Structure 1
């Protein structure tokens, strides 16, 4: 029985391989053969790359939503204060007018 020795690839190599596979017009299998990488391994790297990009977008979106909620709460408090002032002014002028 022959033992399979797993290769360790650098992060830079993986990133370059994914970029080449995604941006190339050729099939992923052909890119994998040219890079001497197992096609399933390359597909795994591509999936991880896409998941990490989506995770970053989600984090940025959550941060954006947090900032938006913070801004809206501040605006809501200001509007409530303005409404209270207008109610008092309306009551004052209604009293004065009678």
Structure 2
């Protein structure tokens, strides 16, 4: 779940791990937040963001993390294809030069 205001002082994994007990526990959100050492409004925002992300994800679809990974992998594939094309052209050029 991306941070709304940009960079967070809490790691992404910590935020994900904090949302689970807040959503599944019978304890008040303030108590869960106090136990985790975070502001209750911060935790409330994380829970809200997680719920919105879950609602937006299609059933059986991919998560936000998976979509991000897919974007990164597509960028990497494009980069590798460009490198391959450059190497193919360089190899053809040098093969032609060697044949002279």
TM-score calculated relative to the size of structure 1: 0.51
Which residues of structure 2 form unaligned runs of 5+?
1-7, 62-100
Q: CA deviation at 1:58?
A: 7.2
Q: CA deviation at 1:57?
A: 2.5
Which residues of structure 1 form unaligned runs of 5+?
1-6, 61-98
Deviations 1:6-37 (A, max 9, x none): x7111110011000111111011000001110
Deviating beyond 3 angstroms after TM superposition, the runs of 4 or more aligned structure 1 residues are none
CA–CA separation in structure 2 for the residues paired with 1:59 and 1:52: 14
After superposition, the CA RMSD in angstroms is 2.2
Specify the alignment match of 1:23 in structure 2.
24
CA–CA separation in structure 1 for the residues paired with 2:20 and 2:55: 16
Mapping 1:1-98, distance limit 5 Å: 8-57=9-58, 60=61
Counting matched residue pairs gives 55
Q: Which has the higher helix share?
A: 1
Larger Rg over CA atoms: 1
TM-score calculated relative to the size of structure 2: 0.50
- Specify which structure has the bigger relative contact order, considering alpha-carbon pairs within 8 angstroms and separated by 6 or more residues: 2
